[in-house]
């Protein structure tokens, strides 16, 4: 056995969860354990491009009822690089069109002897429902606007790589907080690790009630630029809205778009991240999104290592 494999021989006893449903329910220690293991996978697999066959003989299913590029692809790759078999379920060509319920769909797929199900659905709580009704591990890959835990973890991993710590940093989440599962996972994860979190956007998309859980809110991006260490630029999710939350996209870009002029008002070592997909020219201009402060593609690479760590942990616990 190689040194790398020996390091991953057994899931630590401190990890006891068969499912990953959200960061709100995890402790700081559990989040740190996932991040540390993700770093080990990243190093042991040379950026997660080399195989490390810890899940040989296991089967992971991607059960996506919403579209995805990054999450679905990286869960598939993560499972394959761990030696597992993978199945990509496509909702649009499935028997859902004949009226089959989500829970029956999941139970039928599980009956084919599946070890982990990665679930994305527009309805909050769907992964939780499946976790209560299935024997296999369930991983939340985004449930409506509720949570997207692996996105939160890869964002936090990227921030930790840049600064070496999370404690004491000021992180601003900018844009559509109301509909963003990424925002919620970031808020819970970052706060547990000791960051100060600010939510910033139009008043139609940012609630002052975030203050009740210790999150600062503000409506003017220009007011906070000089004191933030990290800007996480969130996409406006028009697909989840029945009416426009601001008069025009142009006006939104004018008030909240990150461009070169705004960049000049930030700390010299500002880190800019975005969960993707990004709308160039709306939440960020191309020169800033592709510039030296941006870690947008590094986030995607980290996503692979995070998802390898999560698949290994949740399928590897005893009993």
Give residues in contact with ligand CP (CB under 6 A). 68-71, 142, 148, 151, 275-277
Measured from the CB atom, is 234 or 263 closer to ligand CP? 234
Measured from the CB atom, is 81 or 148 closer to ligand CP? 148
Cβ-proximal residues to 17 (8 Å cutoff; 6+ apart), any chain: 26, 30, 313, 314, 317
Q: State how far the Cα of 108 lies from the Cα of 274, in Å rounded to an integer.
A: 36
181 — phi, psi (to 5°)?
Answer: -70, -30
- In angstroms, what is the minimal distance from the CB of 263 to ligand CP? 23
Measured from the CB atom, is 47 or 277 closer to ligand CP? 277
Contact 51, 45 (CB under 8 A): yes
Q: State how far the Cα of 280 lies from the Cα of 257, in Å rounded to an integer.
A: 9
- In angstroms, what is the minimal distance from the CB of 297 to ligand CP? 12
| Other beta carbons within 10 Å of 213 | 11
- In angstroms, what is the minimal distance from the CB of 255 to ligand CP? 23
Q: State how far the Cα of 129 lies from the Cα of 259, in Å rounded to an integer.
A: 42
Q: What is the DSSP annotation of 87-141?
A: EEEEGGGSGGGGT--HHHHHHHHHTTT-SEEEEEESSTTHHHHHHHH-SSEEEEE
Q: Could you say which DSSP state residue 46 is in? A: T
Measured from the CB atom, is 69 or 132 closer to ligand CP? 69
- In angstroms, what is the minimal distance from the CB of 66 to ligand CP? 8
Measured from the CB atom, is 149 or 245 closer to ligand CP? 149
- In angstroms, what is the minimal distance from the CB of 53 to ligand CP? 26
Q: State how far the Cα of 152 lies from the Cα of 21, in Å rounded to an integer.
A: 12
Q: State how far the Cα of 185 lies from the Cα of 181, in Å rounded to an integer.
A: 6
Measured from the CB atom, is 186 or 266 closer to ligand CP? 186
- In angstroms, what is the minimal distance from the CB of 304 to ligand CP? 13
Measured from the CB atom, is 278 or 317 closer to ligand CP? 278
- In angstroms, what is the minimal distance from the CB of 89 to ligand CP? 15
Q: State how far the Cα of 74 lies from the Cα of 295, in Å rounded to an integer.
A: 17
Contact 188, 22 (CB under 8 A): yes
């Amino acid at each position: 056995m190689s040194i790398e494999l020996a390091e991953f021989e057994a899931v630590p006893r401190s990890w006891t969860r068969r499912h990953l449903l959200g960061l709100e329910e995890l402790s700081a220690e559990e989040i740190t354990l996932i991040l540390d293991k993700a770093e080990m996978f990243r190093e042991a697999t040379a950026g997660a491009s080399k195989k490390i066959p810890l899940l040989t003989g296991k089967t992971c299913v991607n059960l996506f009822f919403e579209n995805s590029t990054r999450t679905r692809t990286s869960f598939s790759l993560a499972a394959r690089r761990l030696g597992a078999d993978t199945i990509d379920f496509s909702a649009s060509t499935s028997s859902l069109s004949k009226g089959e319920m989500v829970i029956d769909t999941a139970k039928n797929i599980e009956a084919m002897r599946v070890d982990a199900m990665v679930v994305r659905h527009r309805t909050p709580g769907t992964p939780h429902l499946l976790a209560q009704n299935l024997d296999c591990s369930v991983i939340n890959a985004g449930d409506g606007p509720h949570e997207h835990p692996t996105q939160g973890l890869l964002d936090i991993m990227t921030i930790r790589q840049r600064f070496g710590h999370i404690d004491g940093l000021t992180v601003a989440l900018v844009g559509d907080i109301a509909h963003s599962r990424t925002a919620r996972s970031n808020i819970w994860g970052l706060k547990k690790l000791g960051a100060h979190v600010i939510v910033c956007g139009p008043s139609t998309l940012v609630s002052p009630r975030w203050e009740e859980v210790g999150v600062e809110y503000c409506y003017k991006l220009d007011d906070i630029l000089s004191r933030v260490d990290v800007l996480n630029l969130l996409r406006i999710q028009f697909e989840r809205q029945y009416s426009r939350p601001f008069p025009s996209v142009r006006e939104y870009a004018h008030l909240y778009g990150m461009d070169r002029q705004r960049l000049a008002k930030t700390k010299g070592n500002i880190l800019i991240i975005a969960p993707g997909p990004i709308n160039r020219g709306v939440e960020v201009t191309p020169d800033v999104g592709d510039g030296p402060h941006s870690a947008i593609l590094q986030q995607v690479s980290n996503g692979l290592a995070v998802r390898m760590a999560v698949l290994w942990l949740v399928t590897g616990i005893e009993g």
